[in-house]
């Protein structure tokens, strides 16, 4: 058998070309492996090294959006809140909303007013970030309830109502008993497909809020202590807000949980709506996060 000749020994240019081809092939293979990892991730950065060359792929998964897209974080203006501050935050990927959140600083839960007229709340208006994409939400308002509200012995505990409104401030101000049609608009029921399964509506509307609707099987309605619940708001037959509601004690416990939202079959206007909400505590920034997430486009 004839001896095999090493042609590259006499041709350094050929050797360099073969090495370059090998590195490109390896990089392509590694890139495919990284993307396979990205398909199974939550979010992060995957970095690999090959022959002294680092390959870094930004990976952002979930929310039914393409991988390898960068999430942009938009911050609203800080608003004085207790002994700290509160703001909104919108995360977007391209033109798609990833999450809409209320962020509370570490001391925001302290120094809140504890003496208010009966059945009233302290209202905090949190501006949405400048430059945020068009969303179904027009305003975010947090109501601090130091003594809670009915039903008695269920929600009569210090808690927050975090309202994400789909109506304008002017439309919200128009929800008032001074409107001759107030009672008729309060009584007007949403269509069956606009009310989430298992949700029931209160018999009256709260001025500048609307009619609240909650899950009939909520744990607090079955004897468990109230910690957190999800509410929908309606007025004149239409959905006008989505509301995570939670106790101050629950937030002080630094929860880290994501909860699915029971969604209706139809919405009042096209857009992206959340299918989950979450509570998070960031030990690095010492901030609490109340977040709507997992947005899905609805027509």
Model pLDDT, residue 118? 59
Q: Residue 265 — φ and ψ, nearest 5°? A: -80, -25
Distances (CA, A) of 17 to 5, 13, 14, 49: 18, 6, 5, 21
**Is a pLDDT exceeding 90 seen at residue 56?**
no
Model pLDDT, residue 151? 75
Model pLDDT, residue 298? 93
Asked which of 123-132, 147-156, 177-186 is least confident by mean pLDDT, the reply is 147-156
| Across 189-201, average pLDDT | 95
Model pLDDT, residue 296? 96
- Higher-pLDDT residue of 49 and 20 is 20
Q: C-alpha angle 117/121/124, rounded to 5°?
A: 140
Q: How far apart are CA 196 and CA 10, in angstroms?
A: 76
| Across 256-281, average pLDDT | 97
Q: How far apart are CA 31 and CA 47, in angstroms?
A: 10
């Amino acid at each position: 058998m004839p001896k095999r000749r090493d042609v590259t020994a006499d041709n350094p240019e050929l050797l360099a070309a073969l090495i370059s081809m090998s590195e490109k092939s390896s990089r392509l293979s590694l890139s495919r492996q990284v993307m396979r990892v990205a398909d199974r991730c939550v979010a992060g950065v995957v970095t690999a090294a090959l022959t002294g060359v680092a390959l870094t792929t930004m990976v952002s998964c979930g929310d039914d959006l393409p991988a390898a897209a960068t999430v942009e974080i938009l911050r609203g203006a800080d608003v004085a809140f207790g002994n700290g501050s509160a703001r909104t935050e919108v995360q977007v990927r391209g033109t798609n909303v990833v999450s809409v959140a209320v962020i509370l600083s570490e001391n925001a839960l302290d120094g809140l007013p504890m003496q208010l007229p009966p059945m009233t709340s302290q209202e905090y208006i949190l501006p949405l970030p400048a430059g945020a994409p068009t969303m179904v939400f027009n305003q975010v308002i947090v109501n601090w309830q130091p003594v809670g509200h009915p039903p008695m012995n269920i929600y009569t505990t210090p808690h927050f109502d975090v309202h994400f409104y789909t109506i304008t401030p002017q439309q919200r101000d128009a929800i008032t008993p001074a409107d001759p049609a107030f009672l008729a608009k309060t009584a007007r029921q949403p269509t069956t497909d606009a009310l989430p399964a298992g949700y029931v509506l209160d018999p009256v509307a709260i001025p500048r809020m609307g009619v609240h609707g909650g899950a009939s099987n909520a744990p607090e309605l079955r004897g468990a202590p109230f910690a957190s619940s999800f509410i929908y708001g309606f007025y004149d037959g239409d959905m006008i807000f989505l509301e995570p509601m939670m106790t101050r004690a629950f937030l002080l416990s630094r929860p880290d949980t994501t909860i699915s939202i029971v969604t209706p079959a139809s919405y009042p206007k096209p857009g992206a709506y959340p299918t989950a909400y979450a509570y998070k505590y960031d030990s690095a920034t010492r901030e609490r996060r109340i977040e709507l997430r997992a947005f899905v486009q609805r027509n």
